[in-house]
Structure 1
Amino acid sequence: MIDDLKKDLLLFYKSMRELNFNKIKLSIIFITMIASNILGLINPLLFGKIINGIVNKSMDSIKINLLLMCLVLFISIILNYINNIMLIKFTTDLDVNMKVNVFNSILKIPYSDFLKIDKGKLINNIEDDSTVFSNLLSNNISVVINTISMVISFFIMLYISPILTLILVLTLPITAIIYMISGNKIKLKEIEYRNNHDSFLSFLNETIYGWKFLKLFNAEKERCNIFKKTVNYLYSIKINEFKIQLWSGISINIVSFLANTLNILISVYLIFNGKLSLGMLTAFNSYAETFKSSSLSFTQLNSIIQETAVSLTRINEVLNYKKKSESKNSLCQNLDNSIQRIEIKDLSYSTLDNIEILKNINLEFKKSNIYIIKGESGSGKTTLLNILGKFLDIYTGDILINDFYLRNIDRKSLRNRVNYITQDNFLFSLSIKENITLYRDIPFESIENICKRLNIHDTIMSLPNEYETIINKNGNDLSGGEKQRLCIARSIVSKPDVYLFDEITSAIDKNNIEEILKIIEEISKDSIVLLTSHEDLKFSIPVIEYHLRDKDFTKQIVHTS
């Protein structure tokens, strides 16, 4: 348990050091909080003097101390207002920056790793785990403020009554042990909940995307039963976590009750013997409550660290992808010239399960040519395109682009010159124009011209807002062929040096296929075009066909239609 706490504290400290925040603003927040806190600690002493004034029938003492209490309250209100406004703005900025950082890190995850990661976990990373840093900062501020409150309260209590202070302090080790035990149990429950909640979000995502298939196979009832079972299980974890916190609280209350009872008996004895006034007893009790709440925050710190450590570990896993990506890119080179030639030497690729897909492949692709790659489903056609698009990095052999090793080329630089159209035909919930440009600066005239060539312009113009029409989730208001043509337009409009087309004609009717093949012939004059296809595509110019069999390209045909 102690070793785990040390690891969590180390992670806690390391994460705090990595936070990039405005130190001046944070210093002002600290100063206003400390000032407000110190002013708040004056009031119990003033109130105790008022009680003594009432007992002694001293109106002057009562008036002076009442005025001082009002002044302290007024200043405290102003300081608290300033502090809370600054703190909420500060933590909000930190949250936003952290969410953006996590979102950016997710986009840096290597393709092979992204396929294995639970997508629900990534959503949780952005929504919940990313707030851990603002909570971390708030907790650290609270620790400092509570330390000051506890120290000041301790010395004032010691001044009022050393023996009552000693009894109060002796309860701290007991409460600390209770919170350490409960904190460790809470951490285990929190890990269990987060992992199951990740899977639950993925389950919801799959249900929404697979809604049509659930209806087709009458699987709604069974899916609903799984949903109910999962939700009940998640709630049961939280209930068990609450029970741990509840029993921990009950134990602390029992310890506090026994300590308070002993303090009351001793206080009565001291008052009866003239060693303690009623006003000072009132003040002592107020300081004792402040001391206990501050000290309890320290004993609860273990629970907070345990819960925070879960989020910190999860969030650091994602942030590390960005760090690794930036580290790799700093060593990579840019492609400054257009791509003339791609050479593959002894390329072999196996999955993480050691299933060999490609073996000792040697190929060459040159500008102004069309290459068709054929092979059975699962033979490795898409894998080859993923490697050339730098989505898969773990392979043996070499790939040279203009005599530069693919491994050493910056990803962003490569993808400015290599465009990859996948079988997925994914469209975003953006306008048609934005889906084609995808955040690139492309003239509208170019977009319109390519859409006319792809026979989709008239369809777009028939929509309510034409090119500004917002596409529904993943383009579900368009046909498969229309979505595919928009994705082709997205690729062609930027005029890259290399086109990687993966089964791009699979959802397009024969009339439109002919026009698309003509466009491919045209763009191939100034580029390298690679297509994977099961179909016999009828080009009017010579093309080069590679047949993939037994993990290697065994046949090459040059022909015209």
Structure 2
Amino acid sequence: MKKQMNKKNRLREYIIFMNSNMVNIKKYLPYIVILSLILSIISFFIAVISKNMIDYLLHIDKDVNILIPTVISLYVLSAIISYGYTILHSIFYDKYKIKIQKVFYKSLLTADYVFFISLGNSDIYYRMFTDISTMVQYYIRLIVNIPIKFLVLMGTTIILVLWSPIICVLFYILVLVQMILVFIFKNKIKKNYKVLKEKEEALIQDISENCQRIDIIRSLNLVNYCTEDAENSFEKYYQQDIKLTSISKLHNILLSLISQLWNVVILIVGVQQIFTGNLSIGTLMGISILATYLSSAINEFFNIAINYQSTIVCYDRFCEYYNRSTSTAALNNPSTFSFNKYIDFKKITYSYSNGKTVFYNFNLRLNKDSIYLIKGSNGSGKTTLSRLIARFITPQTGDIYIDDKLLSSISENSFRKNVIYVNSFPMLLNKSIYENIVLNAKYSESEFDNIIELCKLQNVINKHGKYSPKGLRAGGLSQGEVQKISLARAFIRKPQILILDEPTAHVDYESAIDLIDAIKNFQTNNHSLIIICSHDIRLNSVSNNIVDLAKK
């Protein structure tokens, strides 16, 4: 009973979630439903008119000149409407899927930082494309196909009862047998589908990780080892795929066999009914057409039942990542960012999942309108400290204050407008230099020009073009130039707190000097707090405020 309740709750949650994300695209729904309904009505008319046409053809005194063009016209009209329905359905499906993908992507970007950096490309790909596609397809079938198919089921049943009660009863005996088959195979298909997806995801994850570790694989001469390991994984995956295919095929063959036997039985019963005068040839033909529509409706109900489990599996996998959002926008009465005095670390303790403790009862005060150089060897906590201030991670114990406000109490939007973090491997979008710098910043053209001059980017713009559509992923930029663009992107937002993690890493001496000068000048002009985490001795001259984490 408890398991059944959990299933109902998951379905309810799924429906509520899908419905809440249909805003702005609901306008397509009435048109899709109306077109689907018109197609069903046309199908009924075709069956009825075809019945009369056959009966009239067998009677010389009956005129069929009107019925033949009517049937042809209905088929043509059905084809035209079907084309329009397909296009509209495709637009609705794509827009719906994009909406879900958008909210999923946004939730990922606000997910717990430690969790986010642990994700592989395949983890995100499967949930964003495979799982979301399954969720959207199923929900559209649930809200569009099922109501229409139910009406088809009712209408067809009424007509069949009127034409031949015996054949109608035989048809529902067939449905009962098919239902038994569906429930026999349902759990087996579900179980094997889940195992197949797990193997598929694990396989893609392994291949993706090996591609990222290609330098290690080649240096240790592990190419053959990895290839053989992948071959074994492929073999296990395909064995599972064959198993699922064989079960699904057996299920479909049995359903098809029962349907064929039913057609033979109907033919025999129908012929007997014709000879006894209880049924006309036209009526038998009409029943044959209606049986196709009825089978389609029944199969849709079966498919909804069969696909329910796989859809809920996809939804659960989706929620596993979607519910990881840690945005403080959900706080009760979040405070607005203000910074007048200092950042205070009070008895901070932070440990990683591997058990390594980076900070224990750590205390530190960083004053406004200053530049601080945070030094220390690898593993001393420089990057951890910068991530704590940037609010990517939170301490296990202790508190961080900005002036007298808890860092965690400040609203996400307000915090991000005033605190900027730049890491040692800056992100460049596949856009122009101009777009990479400004993104969504508010600025004037004179401010942009000043930033270009401050970061000494004029030569880069002269070389590559300010608005070049080629994009920057194509290469041609040195690491120093990339760092300057990243710094310019931070400067143009005029942050009150700027955190720079290894800003001179991987750059030459001349570029390092340019970066140091830009940092000093920006701080002088804007009176920001700039926190530089680095062990680069070239940065010793940037500030007299040096914090050595080796002595913490």
Which range, TM-score by smaller chain? 0.7 to 0.9
Counterpart in the other structure of 1:282: 285
Distance 1:457 1:212 in 2: 36
Counterpart in the other structure of 1:86: 88
1:391-410 matches, within 5 Å, as 391-410=392-411
TM-aligned CA deviation for residue 224 of structure 1: 4.7
Q: Does 1:251 align with 2:250?
A: no
RMSD of aligned residue pairs (Cα, Å): 3.1
Code of the residue aligned with 1:520 in structure 2: it is I
Distance 1:245 1:218 in 2: 42
Give the SS at the match of 2:327: helix
Counterpart in the other structure of 1:381: 382
TM-aligned CA deviation for residue 27 of structure 1: 2.4
TM-aligned CA deviation for residue 390 of structure 1: 0.6
TM-aligned CA deviation for residue 193 of structure 1: 3.8
Distance 2:253 2:184 in 1: 14
Kept in 1: contact 2:480–2:512 (CA 8 A) = no
TM-aligned CA deviation for residue 359 of structure 1: 1.0
TM-aligned CA deviation for residue 437 of structure 1: 2.6
1:78-477 matches, within 5 Å, as 78-140=80-142, 141-203=144-206, 205-206=208-209, 220-226=223-229, 228-322=231-325, 325=327, 328=330, 331-335=333-337, 337-443=338-444, 446-447=447-448, 449-463=450-464, 465=465, 468=468, 470-473=470-473, 476-477=475-476
Counterpart in the other structure of 1:483: 482
Distance 1:487 1:313, change over 3 A: same
Distance 1:325 1:541 in 2: 34
TM-aligned CA deviation for residue 389 of structure 1: 0.1
TM-aligned CA deviation for residue 252 of structure 1: 0.9
Code of the residue aligned with 1:103 in structure 2: it is Y
Give the SS at the match of 2:65: helix
List gaps (5 residues or longer) in structure 2. Answer: none
Distance 1:462 1:300, change over 3 A: closer
Code of the residue aligned with 2:97 in structure 1: it is D
Kept in 1: contact 2:347–2:397 (CA 8 A) = yes
What whole-Å deviation, never above 9, does each CA across 1:312-335 have from its counterpart, x for those lacking one? 22233343345x637525642221
Give the SS at the match of 1:59: coil
Counterpart in the other structure of 2:50: 47
Distance 1:413 1:16, change over 3 A: closer
Distance 1:163 1:466, change over 3 A: closer
Distance 2:49 2:430 in 1: 63
Distance 1:253 1:469 in 2: 56
Kept in 1: contact 2:344–2:364 (CA 8 A) = yes
Distance 1:19 1:180 in 2: 32
Distance 2:543 2:59 in 1: 111
What whole-Å deviation, never above 9, does each CA across 1:430-455 have from its counterpart, x for those lacking one? 22232233332444554555455545
Distance 2:480 2:184 in 1: 61
Code of the residue aligned with 2:247 in structure 1: it is I
TM-aligned CA deviation for residue 532 of structure 1: 2.0
Counterpart in the other structure of 1:557: none
Deviates more, 1:338-347 or 1:213-222: 213-222
Distance 1:380 1:249, change over 3 A: same
Kept in 1: contact 2:328–2:408 (CA 8 A) = no
What whole-Å deviation, never above 9, does each CA across 1:270-312 have from its counterpart, x for those lacking one? 2222222222222222222222222122122222222322322
Distance 1:31 1:451 in 2: 57
TM-aligned CA deviation for residue 210 of structure 1: 5.2
Deviates more, 1:525-534 or 1:486-495: 486-495
What whole-Å deviation, never above 9, does each CA across 1:446-501 have from its counterpart, x for those lacking one? 455545554554345334x366374543x754333333333233323433222212
Number of aligned positions between the proteins: 546
What whole-Å deviation, never above 9, does each CA across 1:64-94 have from its counterpart, x for those lacking one? 4335424544553454344334333322322
TM-aligned CA deviation for residue 341 of structure 1: 1.3
Distance 1:256 1:469, change over 3 A: closer
TM-aligned CA deviation for residue 401 of structure 1: 0.8
Code of the residue aligned with 2:468 in structure 1: it is E
Counterpart in the other structure of 2:65: 63
Distance 2:492 2:21 in 1: 41
Percent identity over paired residues: 23
Code of the residue aligned with 1:89 in structure 2: it is I
Distance 1:305 1:491, change over 3 A: same
Distance 1:215 1:449 in 2: 47
Counterpart in the other structure of 2:507: 508
Code of the residue aligned with 1:372 in structure 2: it is L
What whole-Å deviation, never above 9, does each CA across 1:347-370 have from its counterpart, x for those lacking one? 111224544221111111112322
Relative to the length of structure 2, the TM-score reads 0.88
Relative to the length of structure 1, the TM-score reads 0.86
List gaps (5 residues or longer) in structure 1. Answer: 555-561
Give the SS at the match of 1:368: coil
Kept in 1: contact 2:329–2:412 (CA 8 A) = no
Counterpart in the other structure of 1:544: 545
TM-aligned CA deviation for residue 120 of structure 1: 1.5
Distance 1:508 1:352, change over 3 A: same
TM-aligned CA deviation for residue 256 of structure 1: 2.2
Distance 1:247 1:429, change over 3 A: same
Code of the residue aligned with 2:480 in structure 1: it is G
Distance 1:538 1:263 in 2: 89
What whole-Å deviation, never above 9, does each CA across 1:95-115 have from its counterpart, x for those lacking one? 222222222222222212202
Kept in 2: contact 1:36–1:79 (CA 8 A) = yes
TM-aligned CA deviation for residue 394 of structure 1: 4.7
Distance 1:427 1:13, change over 3 A: closer
Distance 1:55 1:249 in 2: 38
